[in-house]
Amino acid sequence: MSPLLHVETLRIAAGPHAPALVDGISLELDRGKALGLVGESGAGKTLACLALLRLLPEGLHIQDGRIRLDGQELTALTDTEMRRLRGGRIGMVLQNPLSSLNPLMRIGDQIGEAFAVHRGVRWRTALWKLAVEALRAVRIPTPEQRVSAYAHQFSGGMRQRVAITMNIACAPDLLIADEPTTALDATIRLQVLRLLGDIRRERRMALILVTHDLPMVARFCDDVAVMYAGRIVERGPVEAIFANPAHPYTRGLIGATPRLDGRRRLATIAGQPPSPGSIASGCAFASRCDVADAGCRQGRIDLLDLGEQRAAACRKPFARPPAEAAA
């Protein structure tokens, strides 16, 4: 069976000769699966997702590559066709729910809009009835009263639930959630993530979770793709990668994550993430890497198949620095 989403060598830049902000990434995602897309700011996670929706910021373009959803080539669609797809077959939830809600519209009308646009439902009573059901599905208490409220009358966690409701109202095949819980408090974050997990299983919806929170990916995703400087440097099943990361950057991120068990010292990655276009050749991570050698600074280092559905863009996968290997 072919995957639901198939991205091939996607490249995003301001022009054909400008430095690539997303540099030839490839991804596959099956129906009902969750992929965690992790990386630091500027790694290109959000741009890659916006490209899937064809919503790149002014001036940036898909320079190369293919995006197929259920066999349909998205890069070839007209704007009108694309508009029908967004909110229909693909949903997107953003970090700040306030920015995706209209402050002047009642919640029922906002959720109803999705049914009006994508299902052709006309009457407000019918739309509100659908909205009440949709709110109930995301476990909002007393949805009959809540449909007539405005966004400002909702708490942060409830707003994010409403934003999720709007985006899953038409049963999308794919939901892209970009840092959906970063603005929320810890206990609310867990509630929203569990809700997303339940919906995904109930509806066999595929989920791309963009985040910098590794424990969250370990807990809620099947697969993970780690991005660095516009490339995917490692991808594969979550459990295998967290147990034994192949790329030194993935290993560094896992070691840098504070944990409740309170080790006294965190592993660190020296230096800062590079700015786009500053890496001329070789591996973008080489200057911060603890196992890099001269060969890592030349040519282009592509994803290398490691078997068991894993791949890493590293000449020395699974290598450890001498001190650590001895310990």
Partner 1 sequence: MSARIHIEAVSKTYPVRTSLFSRRRELAALRGVSLRIEAGTTLGLVGESGSGKSTLARLVMGAENADAGKISIDGRDVRAGLPRAADAWLRRTLQPVLQDPYGALNPRMTVAETVGEPLHIQRQGSRAEIAARVRELLELVGLSAALATSLPVALSGGQRQRVAIARALSISPRVLILDEPVSALDMSVQAQVINLLQDLQDRLGLTYLLISHDLAVVAHLSTHIAVLYLGQVVEAGDRNAVIRTPRHPYTRSLIAAAEPGGEVEAIQGEMPSPLAPPSGCPFHPRCPQAVSECRSTPPALRRISGTHLAACHLADSAQETAA
Binding residues (CB under 8 A) for partner 1: these are 40-41, 141, 155, 157-158, 185-191, 194, 212, 214-216, 218-219, 252-253, 255-269, 272-273
Q: Which is nearer to partner 1, 128 or 220 (CB)?
A: 220
Q: Which is nearer to partner 1, 271 or 299 (CB)?
A: 271
Q: Which is nearer to partner 1, 50 or 184 (CB)?
A: 184
Q: Which is nearer to partner 1, 120 or 258 (CB)?
A: 258
Tell me the C-alpha to C-alpha distance, in Å, between residue 63 and each of 3, 16, 48, 75, 282: 23, 6, 12, 10, 21
| Dihedral angle of Cα 304, 215, 180, 247, to the nearest 10 degrees | -20
Q: Which is nearer to partner 1, 237 or 255 (CB)?
A: 255
CB-count exposure of residue 56 (10 Å: 0-12, 13-18, 19+): middle
Least separation, in Å, of the C-beta of 38 and partner 1? 9
Least separation, in Å, of the C-beta of 234 and partner 1? 15
The candidate with the shortest Cα–Cα distance to 150, out of 98, 189, 94, is 98
Least separation, in Å, of the C-beta of 70 and partner 1? 32
Least separation, in Å, of the C-beta of 283 and partner 1? 16
Q: Which is nearer to partner 1, 144 or 185 (CB)?
A: 185
Terminus-to-terminus CA distance in the chain, angstroms? 45
Q: Which is nearer to partner 1, 3 or 255 (CB)?
A: 255
> Which H or E element spans position 130?
helix 124-137
Distance CA 181, CA 185 (A): 8
Strand order in the sheet with 61-69: 22-29, 5-13, 61-69, 72-73
Tell me the C-alpha to C-alpha distance, in Å, between residue 16 and each of 3, 9, 21: 29, 15, 12
Least separation, in Å, of the C-beta of 189 and partner 1? 6
Inter-residue contact 172 to 137 (CB < 8 Å): no
Least separation, in Å, of the C-beta of 134 and partner 1? 20
Least separation, in Å, of the C-beta of 285 and partner 1? 11
Unique residue bearing structure tokens 């129906």: 31
Inter-residue contact 236 to 219 (CB < 8 Å): no
